[in-house]
Structure 1
């Protein structure tokens, strides 16, 4: 089937030509959009009422602007197109103006009978082939207008000129297939009235109801490769942490606590134990559940292991050290720049021990998501 007739299937790859230039881009044939970067569009930009369709593509390879797809929550983080020192809305293709308008409309109390259809794509690394990530809408059910579109600061150049760009969050809807028939109706301005419109998208348009495409991991026991970064950019971040703390494991304990807080923001007080009296735990603290006067606090013990990502993982002996020290109604947190070895991971899962594993790859992902670029991560580590 040709690209012009194809349906869009989640995680399906759509390839173009192999000429080695911009003509390889499959999106013009697939959707009728241009072959520019970032937002591609049908209709007149940047107004919501005049845009019919937006195709948003990310290659996920820019360490300064770490776009990220969280398949478990169905959320997609996208950074805007102002990546040089200029006004936040002064971009040639008006991408940031489009972002602002999308999120303004998302939070408007007025119901809309029109909204541009947003289709997300990711680069595959092969020529200009793309993977369809899904049908998206701005924001998320749990996010307010202060959280889903945020202007962030960056510095660029030898003079560290400061400028702003947007960080936005989209929700991918539970729509496994976007039919060609609906795409054809979108092109003629009948996205809402089409008999082929996905129900999840229509429910969002009329009532801002979010139906995310949840895809939780089915593998409980992760192997070494699933716990360590594979890309050069991600490995550079992890190596930076190991180089900083490898010869000072006690300093890493403080960093490990803050890394755990990024994963679990409801961690309350957390006290690092003295190295000669830690009793097998590097830190102990409390984790808050609930809000207000009805909230409770659950105790936890944390173990930090700053191991070389290219060396050995955390084995049964180290894990047993943590498990043996867990008190009644406590849970454990293991933070390591390496990985949990296969036998230890198997025993942990089979015996259903209440321990959260934060491995090297987990650390890299949360730092990119919550802190930002490599330079920002360095600054954050230095501030601890």
Structure 2
């Protein structure tokens, strides 16, 4: 359902809030919904960039910028947001002071004493229909498993002209608050978010003691369709095509590439061995994956199967069963493919609870784009392998 009277309603998680249909900036529902400004991803009410003078913030993302891949993990309640620096220069010199606000918010969050004032942060995502927005939840800076050195980090990027610059990558937690009442929104607008009788308890618990209560949502279906496993744009399809073309005439060489790809996803792979073609026994590689840190860590064995297929050729039941049948007790499997796992094989995998990680063509494309940027840099990486 689309709510078309935003200035009168509560905010419900995952509900869509619509504006007008004029085809211009007036379609934006956020000014009516929250009295914030329009036209930017990082909206504010109050005086920026200081925390004490901000009344509320609205973070809006379209989730479609491959170079700056904002993401919401609904299972963990973690939201990743990239700042507004898009070119070389001072990290904090941006037109709307978005990165300054990020820095100040996280500085305040790292102060574990009670905050007498803190602006609520409301997350919204584009729906692709006019300027309608989906409310994603109430967020706070940081996460329960991250320290102050990890929740706001400056990451390096490279322009098309090969010039390096930095931008912020911020980690937020979406709190277990299903509804933001209109009464609390009115108190936010008056600058009384913390003292309001309508402020939700999980948010107050964080403000007073930095206690995280994430909104976690378990998926009802873990079986990804063909379209969910493959790249969904021509740009991303080019990355998979590059890898496939590079190795299609020698699938055994792809096994080493597949292990390097797996290491991009599973960074704690410690050591591995590519098995000989005539002795692999259903496993193209075996290795160790480290869980934990220091003297208390353990190494878990894994086996990997690699399939360099065109995107119109599925990995079927036979290939998956071959890998599963070779997994020993306390091992897990990794299937790396430039294609996808067909529906029957995926269904059997999930229903039977086999410990196999699926890395499909769409997964590879996104990772390579985010890691290396241009196709030329991916090609250099492949040649080095």
Q: Same fold (TM over 0.5)?
A: yes
1:57: which partner in 2?
A: 60
Q: Secondary structure at the match of 2:341?
A: coil
SS of the counterpart of 2:283? coil
**1:377 shift after superposition:** 7.3
Gaps of 5+ in 1: none
Match of 1:297 among 286, 296, 299: 299
1:250 aligned counterpart, secondary structure = helix
Distance 1:217 1:258, change over 3 A: farther
The answer for the alignment partner of 1:319 in structure 2 is 320
1:14: Cα distance to partner? 1.0
Match of 1:168 among 167, 170, 173: 170
Query: Displacement, 1:157?
Result: 4.8
Superimposed CA distance per residue, residues 224-262 of structure 1 (whole angstroms, 9 cap, x where no aligned partner): 233233344544443443344334433432332233334
> How many Å apart are 1:15 and its aligned residue?
1.2
Please tell me whether residue 41 in structure 1 is matched to residue 41 in structure 2: no
Runs of 4+ displaced beyond 6 Å: none
SS of the residue 1:49 aligns to: helix
Q: Is the 8 A contact 2:231 2:362 kept in 1?
A: yes
Q: Which stretch shifts more, 24-33 or 335-344?
A: 335-344
Aligned match of 1:213 in 212, 215, 227?
215
Closer, same or farther: CA 248–121 of 1 in aligned 2, 3 Å: farther
- What's the counterpart of residue 197 of structure 1? 199
* 8 Å Cα contact 1:155/1:163 also seen in 2: yes
Q: Deviations over 1:293-343 (max 9, x none)?
A: 34332211100112222x121111111221232233322111122221122
Match of 1:338 in 2: 339
Q: Tell me whether 1:91 sits opposite 2:94 in the alignment.
A: yes
Cα displacement string for residues 24-69 of structure 1 (whole angstroms, at most 9, x for unaligned residues):
1111111101112121101100001110101111112222211111
Q: CA deviation digits over 1:175-205, x for unaligned, max 9?
A: 1111111100101111111111111111111
After TM superposition, the structure 1 = structure 2 runs for residues 107-256 of structure 1, keeping only pairs within 5 Å, are: 107-158=110-161, 160-256=162-258
Q: Is the 8 A contact 1:367 1:377 kept in 2?
A: no
Conserved? CA contact 2:112–2:209, under 8 Å? no
What displacement does 1:210 show? 0.9
Matched pairs, number: 381
Q: Residues of 2 paired with 1:75 and 1:102: CA distance?
A: 17
Q: How far, CA to CA, are the matches of 1:210 and 1:376 in structure 2?
A: 42
CA–CA distance in structure 2, aligned partners of residues 212 and 367 of structure 1: 30
Q: 5+ residue gaps in structure 2?
A: none
Give the stretch that moved more between structures: 317-326 or 349-358.
349-358
Taking only aligned residues, the RMSD between alpha carbons, in angstroms, comes to 2.3
1:7, 1:178 within 8 Å by CA — same for their partners in 2?
yes
Corresponding residue for 2:31? 28
Do the aligned partners of residues 172 and 157 (structure 1) sit closer, same or farther apart at CA in structure 2, a change above 3 Å counting? same
CA shift in 2, pair 1:84/1:220, >3 Å: closer
- With normalisation by structure 1, the TM-score equals 0.91
TM-score normalised by structure 2 residue count: 0.91
Is 1:360 the counterpart of 2:361? The answer is yes
